[in-house]
Amino acid sequence: EFIGCFGLTEPDQGSDPGGMKTRARSVEGGYALSGAKMWISNSPIADVFVVWAKDDEGVIRGFVLEKGMEGLSAPKIEGKLSLRASITGEIVMDEVFVPEENLLPNVQGLKGPMGCLNNARFGISWGALGAAEACWHAARQYVLDRAQFGRPLAANQLIQKKLADMQTEISLGLQGCLQAGRLKDRDALAPELISLLKRNSCGKALDIARMARDMHGGNGISDEYPVFRHMCNLETVNTYEGTHDIHALILGRAQTGIQAFN
């Protein structure tokens, strides 16, 4: 079995992958790749690296690199406060020779990597709501068990409203994801709908996690309860695979026909 990773994001190019600086220079028998990728899941333990770089004509192409190639390294990123169970690192390439057969065929431009990212975004739309659901359930149980002023916290109208708001947002979000799945099965899922779902699921899930943390009071920052872990992880999920604002601009472009970014 092999572990793989996907290298698109760079130290200076996150939301603007088309501005990547990694280059694939044509040489005899293949290409010499130089540049760096950042925030790459599994790169420190990867056996196979799918890396995107610009060729001599400035066209984005995909390349398959293998662990042990001369000039290739993947240092681990330390000190993360979110998604700590995920091994994340860089991909550093210094004139790495990649044979011609390792060039991904029939893929040019951002269409290839963005197709992969859209599938990931759809999965994230579901996963973020799963984290929100865990926070909702934890908050519900906590306010039933915790008593203040001689009665359970759950007896307060404010608490019940918060639980109702959590349930509502999660239920509506799941219905949207379910409908998108049905459209995907019919090959009728527009990428803009994925942006809508990713943006909504992550933003609402983060709000729910923060609310659940607040409902836990001081105990909300303890690892005895899951809410703070989910809250920290959702900060990352709300950012990666397209930030909240970038997806807003994608939706704005779809509605107006005007591109707000290059």
* DSSP-assigned states of every residue in 230-259: HHHHHHHHTTSSS-HHHHHHHHHHHHHS--
Structure tokens at 226: 């899951």
Domain count, the chain: 2
Domain C-terminal end among 54, 78, 102: 102
Q: What is the pLDDT of residue 261?
A: 80
- Determine the 3-state secondary structure of 214 from DSSP: helix
pLDDT of residue 181: 97
Asked if 81 and 149 sit in the same domain, the reply is no
In a domain, 154, yes or no: yes
Both 38 and 124 in one domain: the answer is no
Which of the listed residues 51, 84, 102 is the one where a domain comes to its end? Answer: 102
CATH number of the domain to which 235 belongs = 1.20.140.10
Token couple for 149: 């002023």
Domain end marker among 80, 102, 124: 102
CB 59 within 8 A of CB 108: yes
| pLDDT (mean) for 241-253 | 94
In sequence order, what are the residues at sequence separation of 6 or more whose Cβ sits closer than 8 angstroms to the Cβ of residue 130?
Answer: none
- One domain, residues 182 and 60: no
Q: What is the pLDDT of residue 214?
A: 98
**Is 192 noted as a catalytic residue in this protein?**
no
Residue 16 has pLDDT above 90, yes or no: no
- Whether the pLDDT of residue 115 is over 90: the answer is no
Catalytic residue among 10, 90, 133, 241: 241
Euclidean distance between CA atoms 112 and 132, whole angstroms: 31
Q: Is the pLDDT of residue 235 over 90?
A: yes
Average of per-residue pLDDT across 149-176: 98
Considering the domain architecture, whether residues 84 and 117 belong to the same structural domain is answered as: no
pTM value? 0.90
Q: Indicate which CATH number applies to the domain containing 80.
A: 2.40.110.10
Residue 181: domain span: 111-256
Average the pLDDT over 6-34 and give the result. 93
Is residue 29 located within the same domain as residue 156?
no
Q: What is the mean pLDDT of residues 169-176?
A: 98
> Is residue 119 located within the same domain as residue 241?
yes
Q: DSSP secondary structure string, 110-152?
A: THHHHHHHHHHHHHHHHHHHHHHHHHHHHHHHHHHH-EETTEE
